[in-house]
Structure 1
């Protein structure tokens, strides 16, 4: 429904137009009325009307001044001048201000309605054309970025396209991330392809909102049945280590997508590259990393750099992580993120290594260490159960007792008795 604001210093005319014209027949709603230009300007800012129907001669701020202010601040708003004088000088000024119409306030109701309705149709048509142009621009830009991911014909071609599209780079370094919904195939069965497209559209919107106003600069690309992100970097270090702020932002986005769309999602991150020609290399690395979920056994954030570790280095990383866990098992804040930060890899990759080589997830591994330490304290000391709970990283003694019984098949007190008997 189109919103109309009526501004006239004559209350009878103002209220008569509001009450007597059959606005609803043209899907128009009178959202407010004002008695002068200043009051009208305040309502314009508050109500954001689609159409302004205003008298010209008014105290404080006349209709022409009001129209100038509205044109500057809200150029899409349609303005119709309403006056009691059939004066050509007013009409000339109205044309200069690009008014939609200029009508006498004593015209019959149907004439006023037709004038306002015509202005409304003009506005809707402009909005449709603007939306169509925006969609066309988006499609053209997406085609350009898709070509960058698949391989540019030439550097000169890429620069020409950028100039035509008005795209500006922050620097000459790039990094690609691939967003991989794990059950996209479920949305891609014959006959419901539009559901898969809607899913990808939703993923893109979440990503755009998540990265709004944040660095590095992202370009979201619908390519190869996925949403991909091309990051433009001022320097190679801007998209930092797998345990840094860049990774945290991607993990935050991944979690938001999963929470909003109720689907498991993995994100693969390619290597940092220099120049247009290397973008496909980063993309392919990201695509491979996105499929590390098959090794990890669960979705997550995976960096291609982590995949270069040899089996020997995997065991070295595991040794470092296990030593860190043993050293910090009593800290209730010990977490997957803290362990990842210690060895400079992503939390998802920590999980992958434990699953692959220890056949257990990290949380279970930590709980196992804590339970063994608790058992030692029960055997070797007189600490009470709640004291032992705190010493092994569980501030909640009830939770500790539940975990202990699950691990050993008996409560802490029964375990102590069994050891002493």
Structure 2
């Protein structure tokens, strides 16, 4: 039977949910009730429910913080959220990444049971292919979740060595505890779970940085090999986050624009400009495009073309000389860029005078 915990500060509301759910039909049992988030977390720790049904507005630890704690500490728990109409738009934004479903109060019998049915189906899918927790006995599950939480905390703290050490300790625990016939499945599931955990930590700590690291896609032969591979991957994520933070501090886009404006007639490249400002070319490219709507090279080209048009049409300079002064040593290439930018060749521009 799947164990269900109901959290709501109003006793009558808890009773309504209990009376509406077709629990036995879905293979479920309500094993506890809590009147606030703090008591709810204590019961999750004590009773290990697979499903939590919770209100959002409660005294003490409210629903938003409760969801965040559940997501971090008990990722295997499915969550169904109840909310009054006035909270619905905010609630949808706050919980979209975690809750199985959100129900408007007063709860409708059919909607509740549809959600319970989906929870039961998802549990069966997880049993077949999902979380490593599905293959663990209770003591090992508790140890795994404790290690998982410590790894997450070290990732948030950007502590590469400590995260690697916790991974290695977890690997030794799993090597001792997992039967040989489950080894391959457990390594695959554990690696997938920890990669998802690292992704969450990366988003929290460094925005886009975690997405820049290539995710390992392999099956390791042992837990120790998995720990070594994931340790390298986690270090890469942390390095990217630290680099991104340094870049945010030191990159002044107004200075970049001034630099381009003063040097566009010289040989310029994205790599060269990034090196001048001591940032990565990827960060420079993203930041400049976000701030100006242009890429760095588009800006360089636009300034060069505007200058070339002035030299040719206004100052009547020979085309070859104008190209050289605008940073183009290859005259044929200059013609191609000019035609693409203005729709006419330098010669046609001169003839229009």
TM-score for the superposition, normalised by structure 2: 0.38
Higher Cα Rg, which structure:
1
TM-score for the superposition, normalised by structure 1: 0.32
Higher helix share: 2
